[in-house]
Structure formats: structure tokens, C-alpha cells
Amino acid sequence: MEELSQENIWSLELGSLYLSKDLNLLKTYLTDLLDLLVYLHEILAEENIQVDETEVLSEELVMKFYFHGLTLNNTSDGFNLKSKYYEYSKSSKVKLVDLSSILTIGRAQLETLLMYQHLYINSENKNELKLRSYAWIYTALLQRSHTPATTEHTKIQKKRGCR
């Protein structure tokens, strides 16, 4: 029989929690994990740990993942229908959950996690990770260069960046 690793135990715990269908317990668990993520991130920042120049942007992805999680948590609480034009009698007391937004934000959070994995984790070759990071930044700069400049300030900025 295979020995249970920490990873397997965590997977079983999360699976059991999911199968319990206890939304409040699941939300508390996930909020605690998000809180732990930010705590660990802040501890590392306070320690002034020197990181490679390509790892500096990892903070943005960590915080993006965190905010997506908070947004998912808040959105899953649901919303009451409100209107200044119409008084909803029964429906104003029912909480509606915006499932399409939850799925969209969930996808964005997964994409953030996968990008973090791609840029910082899934290769042991430091040069390959640097190349991935530089390619990521370069791609964003290329996309930005195609953004239309409509104001005088943005036209100057665009001209300055194209030299």
C-alpha cells in the first residue's frame, strides 16, 4: 500500500471538504489559505530577501491571485436585487449568485496560478526561467505598443518608447 504524503493528505482533506457541500466551511478554509499566502508573502518582503530581477514581478501575480480569491469569496455571497424604480417584494429578499462572474474570476485566478507556475516553478534551469520571464515582459510591451494613442500625452509616450 502506498504511503500517504503531505500532498496526498492535503488533496484528500480538500476533496472531503468539497464533498461535504458546506459552502461556509469551504469559504472559511479557502480564506484562511489566502490569508496564509499573503502572510508568507509579507514575511518574505519584511526580511528583505534578495531576489533575482525576474522574480520581482512575482509579487504582482501573488497579489492578483489573492485578490481574485477575495473577489470569488465576496461574489459567492450573492446579491439582493435592488432598484430605485421598482420595489421587489419577494425577490429582493432572495440572494442571487452571479455564477458567470464566479466562473470568469475563477478562470482568471487559475490562469494567474498557471502563469506563476510557468514563470517561477516548473523548471530547475534558472536561465530558462529568466528567459520565460523576459519573454513574458516583452510580449506585454509588444501588446502595449499597439494600443492606440488618443491624447497628446500618450502620443508623446508612445513616440518616446518607439526609439
Question: 5-39 pLDDT, tens per residue?
Answer: 777 787 888 788 888 888 888 888 889 989 998 89
Residue 146, classed as helix, strand or coil, is coil
Q: Is residue 103 part of a domain?
A: yes
pTM of the model: 0.74
Q: How many domains does the chain have?
A: 1
Q: Is residue 152 part of a domain?
A: no
| Amino acid making up residue 12 | L
Q: What range defines the domain where residue 134 resides?
A: 7-145
Q: Is residue 139 part of a domain?
A: yes
Helix, strand, coil fractions of the chain, as percent rounded to 5? 70, 0, 25
Query: What percentage of the chain carries pLDDT values higher than 90?
Result: 31
State yes or no: pLDDT of 51 exceeds 70: yes
State yes or no: pLDDT of 148 exceeds 90: no
Q: Is residue 156 part of a domain?
A: no
Q: Is residue 124 part of a domain?
A: yes
pLDDT the model gives residue 132: 92
